Structure 1
Amino acid sequence: MSDFIEGQPARADASTDEIIEAYRVPAPGANKFIINLGRPGLRIAFGEMHDQLEKPVFHSGVTLHPLDAIRLYKILQEMLEPIERNFREQGVISSEPSEDGGH
């Protein structure tokens, strides 16, 4: 069952042309996210952090209207649920800290 936002499905398939256009923009890796809900909406900055850096390096950011942020949340939830379940079964994700402190 799909959710609807403003009468439209929260998730819609992308056309081949839209997918081609989406791959025209850079997509650097990110493992650090700063998320802030304020005006004019939900702002997400994407960056990278690793042992050789003193602080994260941010590559890009987006601001989403709250309704668009909910759409993104619903899409990610649907897409990632089976992957999360698999990681939980493997012990990669848990509700308790690991005994080795994650190292």
Structure 2
Amino acid sequence: MNEDQVKELAETTARSKSNTHRLDKLEENTKLMHEMNRNIAVIAEQTKDTKEDVKSLRTDVEEIKAKPNKLVDSVKQNAIGVIVGALVGAILAFVF
């Protein structure tokens, strides 16, 4: 082996070690990216579930907000009925 071949072999060996080190880092980065993708998928699923829960809560709140209105409407109808009944009774009392 001549001096040029020895030098080229040394450079190739050094480059091989450097490439191996770079590949090891890339493998680690790839593993981290896969883990991040799994975590993102979990977060997306949780977000979907949360969206459904919020929708359900919104429906419940709308129903709760509507209940006082129903009560007020019922009270109004009863009050009007009492007033009309009293007026009719008063008119009939004056007539007879």
Q: TM-score, normalised by structure 1?
A: 0.21
Larger helix proportion of the pair: 2
Q: TM-score, normalised by structure 2?
A: 0.23
